[in-house]
Amino acid sequence: MSKLPQTVKVCLWSYDTDKINLSNANDRILIIMNVLNYGSEDAIKWLMENFDDKEIKATIKKSYASAWYKWRLDRWTQYYKVSPKWKTRIEFILSKEKNCLALHKQIKFFHFP
């Protein structure tokens, strides 16, 4: 994988595609999400030829449903047999905060009255 084809670049309209690094995990997630959500048949074909199913499934699973067009999410959850872990971004953020609170209690930080 070297350069992004034009069919993929149009899915990333709000990003500077010249700065996207295919070796960067966050950039790879961005590509997967945008191509599956906005991509043409050609863009999706390129994605499936250049990213393995395991990585695509993991990206869908780690996402939140409100980041998707409903009909696209339905298509990909049926195809890959996985669903987003969270319904909304707020749910995702709150899950992270709960983990932080649990960790806080485990290591017994200073408590001030």
pLDDT in tens, 16-50: 999 999 999 999 999 999 999 999 999 999 999 99
Tell me what pLDDT residue 112 has.
43
pTM exceeds 0.85 = no
Angle value at C-alpha 28, between 72 and 37, nearest 5 degrees: 15
Q: How confident is the model at residue 110 (pLDDT cuts 50, 70, 90)?
A: very low
Q: What residues contact residue 64 under an 8 Å CB cut-off, 6+ apart?
A: 84, 85, 86, 87, 88, 89, 91, 92
Tally: H helices and E strands in the chain:
6, 0
Q: How confident is the model at residue 101 (pLDDT cuts 50, 70, 90)?
A: low
Instruction: For the chain, give every domain's residue range.
Output: 6-86
Mean local confidence (pLDDT), 48-56? 97
